Amino acid sequence: MLRTEELLLNVGPQHPSTHGVFRVIVKLDGEIIREAIPVMGYLHRGTEKLAEDLSYTQIIPYTDRMDYVSAMTNNYVLVHAVEKMMQLEVPERAEFLRLIVMELQRIASHMVWWGTYLLDIGAMSPFLYAFRDREIIIDLFNELCGARLTYNYMRVGGVKWDAPEGWIDKVRKFVPYMRDKLEEYHNLVSGNEIFLSRIKGIGKYDAETAIAYGLSGANLRCTGVDWDIRKTQPYSLYNRFEFDVPVRTGGDCHDRYLLRMEEVKQSLRILEQAVEQFPAEGETMGKVPRVIRPAEGEVYAAIESPRGEIGCYIISRGKQEPFRLKFRRPSFVNLQILPKLLVGETMTNLITILGGIDIVVGEVDA
């Protein structure tokens, strides 16, 4: 007797395209997804709970391990929240260094995304090209703080290490190089007919839905909402530089792709200006009390990470350790729209959509 059955398929946690240990349980009718249930928590390390027993400086390395593709911005959101709470002044040179590393990190992070996204879609070579360019950035970071992935570079009130001699020149040289490569990547990939047909009109949602789900970053800007915390609530030195916030209105994977590529371009613009204005001399550490003990109170600080709004909410009871610390992790928030987008799509589009959201499982699970 013939009968049809729904196929229950476990995608992940061990799967090549779930970007780590993320799992989706999908109910398939043929290749059409009827229901998708994301399961997360395989990489949960309890960062927020651990933070309650750690001093503020000790928390910084834990932030490295949240979004390990973009550790610098995570460093920044924590130190920025504490500085905001204690109203500390950060020396200009330190702030410049932070800004330069954050923008370099944004480029590195988008390059990782670009490479892995194309790999998800089935093109192998871009992955290797992207990692070549990311390698240059990682070498720069290595020179700066001795680590390639988990930097532990920023401190409350400044940065741990000053830029070594010639480092700024290397960054200066990197900007035109990367601009050149970006153009090359556009020529290689962005117009590819197969690629376009894979991502155009896929994973579409409108601005209202995006806001209702609390999306941020490129996932929000692709629906036409002009929201970039670097512009709307400027932190660090971003109001000193000229740059645009790319916005598109399609709301599909193609728009998210183009936005991230454009963001790399804008980051290069910021870098170019930052390198020119970089103060020749100055302190890299502000006047910070030996023991960081913020007064009783609460603070929320948010910045624009490559994946969207990353926020840090701290409740202090006047002790060395935070009473409660909460990270608003953009990967986690952005992921919530996934089950809604997947219904009615094919297995292939699952990968395209999941990749297009740009998650880092370390940050989803924290």
Binding mask 194-223 toward other proteins (x if CB under 8 A, else -) reads xx-xx-------------------------
Q: Which of the stretches 45-53, 118-126, 207-215, 317-325 binds other proteins when contact is defined by CB under 8 A?
A: 118-126
Using alpha carbons, list the distances in angstroms from residue 202 to 70, 180, 277, 345, 351. Answer: 26, 29, 42, 9, 11
First to last CA, the chain: 49
Q: Determine if 25 is a binding residue for other proteins (CB under 8 A).
A: no
The C-alpha angle with vertex 263 and arms to 16 and 174, in degrees rounded to 5, equals: 90
Least distance in angstroms from the C-beta of 129 to other proteins: 7
3-state helix, strand, coil in the chain (%, to 5): 50, 15, 35
Q: Rule CB under 8 A: say whether 343 interacts with other proteins.
A: no
Choice from 37, 50, 128, 295 touching other proteins (CB under 8 A)? 128
Rounded CA-CA distance 328/8 in Å is 32
| Contact status, residue 80 vs residue 98, Cβ threshold 8 Å | no
Does residue number 267 form part of the binding site for other proteins (CB under 8 A)?
no
The token duo for 130 is 């992207």
Give the position of tokens 């490129």.
218
Q: Taking CB under 8 A as the rule, does residue 351 contact other proteins?
A: yes
Contact 301, 312 (CB under 8 A): yes
Q: How many CB atoms lie within 10 A of CB 339?
A: 15
Residue nearer to other proteins on the CB measure, 115 or 251: 115
Please identify which residue in 58, 125, 249, 277 interacts with other proteins, judged by CB under 8 A.
125
Contact flag: residue 149 with other proteins (CB under 8 A): no
Q: How far is the CB of 239 from other proteins (least distance, A)?
A: 39
**In whole angstroms, what is the distance from residue 117 CA to residue 249 CA?**
21
Within 27-46, the residues that bind other proteins by CB under 8 A are 31
**Closer Cβ to other proteins, 54 or 347, answer by number:** 347
3-state secondary structure of 135: helix
Query: Is 257 a binder of other proteins (CB under 8 A)?
Result: no
Q: Is 347 in the site for other proteins (CB under 8 A)?
A: yes
**9 lies in the site for other proteins, by CB under 8 A:** yes
Residues that bind other proteins (CB under 8 A): 7, 9, 15-17, 31, 118-125, 128-129, 132, 192, 194-195, 197-198, 346-351
